Amino acid sequence: LYFVQEYMPAGMVGLLVAAMFAATMSSMDSGLNRNSGIFVKNFYEPIVRKGAASEKELVTVSKITSAVFGIAIILIAQFINSLKGLSLFETMMYVGALIGFPMTIPAFLGFFIKKTPDWAGWGTLVVGGFVSYYVGFVVNAEMVSSIFGLEELTSREWSDVKVAIGLIAHITLTGGFFILSTLFYKPLTEKRQADVDKFFGNLSTPLVAESAEQKVLDNKQREMLGKLIAVAGVGIMLMALLTNPMWGRLVFILCGVIVGGVGVLLVKAVDDGGKQAKAVTES
């Protein structure tokens, strides 16, 4: 940001901020939709409504769930912003070690340890939540120093040690809970076993999409995305009208040409065979 503000032409800061928001939203909306879909299809529909919900109801619940998750993320971001003593790097390390890692453990171990009860996944997440709370809010530098006979830890040393303690605790306690859940495994019902076999069968089956319908969908995406990017490229080139020296105007023109060129290439990448397939399917 400092480099762009000090050495790039006027208007480039706004373009940079727009790109940052676009990059954030492109991953944020897919994450919200994914989490909402997981909640609706794996909890609301089979447990709350027990298969009685209509598609319209599921879509409505999905929208509400996405909004709730979005508000929760905003509140968490505000809380993280209030932690003035933590840098952004330390915050991301804590989030990865204390929140992301316990969610990864059951998902990873589930590929190799299959004979676990159905509650092993969410039970492991609950245990991971307690472990993260204990490491994050109970364990402190003085406690660790007294146990291992260390000198007083600096803030930098403690931030690294805290992440390491969180990872070790989750590997041993959270992962250990998932492994111990195998002791409570009971043979599944025939219907449930068929669902489990289908799941692992889908995972081991390569995804090959060469159907005419898929080509039509790919062409629609290429054409739509290409046109949008081409329009964005033209908009960037119009920023050359801003009051800047000649080299600054040329920078905007160059950026617009690059962006617009990508859009044109996407439009040109539309497969004519896909168009013919579309005409065949419509006829």
Tokens of 144: 């660790």
User: Who contacts 168 (Cβ-Cβ below 8 Å, separation ≥6)?
Assistant: none
Count how many Cα atoms sit within 13 Å of the Cα of residue 203 in the half-sphere of its side chain.
9
Cβ count near 225 (within 10 Å): 14
- 3-state SS assignment for residue 114: coil
pTM for this model (two decimals): 0.61
Exposed / middle / buried, residue 239 (Cβ in 10 Å: 0-12, 13-18, 19+):
buried
Tokens of 237: 């080139």
Residue 276: pLDDT above 60? no
Model confidence pLDDT, tens digit, residues 169-225: 999 999 999 999 999 998 888 888 898 888 888 888 887 766 778 788 889 999 999
- Of the chain, the percentage scoring pLDDT greater than 70 comes to 92
What residues does each domain of the chain span? 25-204, 212-282
Model confidence pLDDT, tens digit, residues 19-66: 888 888 888 888 888 889 989 988 899 888 887 889 999 999 999 999
Q: What is the per-residue DSSP string for 100-112? A: IHHHHHHHHHTTT
* Alpha carbon 43 to its chain's center: 20
Contact 236, 15 (CB under 8 A): yes
Looking at the chain, how many residues does it have?
A: 283
User: Who contacts 261 (Cβ-Cβ below 8 Å, separation ≥6)?
Assistant: 233
Contact 104, 173 (CB under 8 A): no
- 3-state SS assignment for residue 26: helix
> How large is the average pLDDT for residues 139-163?
83
| 3 or 137, which is more confident | 3
* Radius of gyration of the chain, Cα coordinates, nearest whole angstrom: 26
Tokens of 269: 């990448």
Residues 96, 98, 102, 108, CA torsion sign: positive
**Nearest alpha carbon to residue 60 among 76, 71, 49:** 49
Residue 281: pLDDT above 70? no
What pLDDT was estimated at residue 258?
96
Q: Report the distance separating Cα 26 and Cα 274, nearest Å.
A: 27
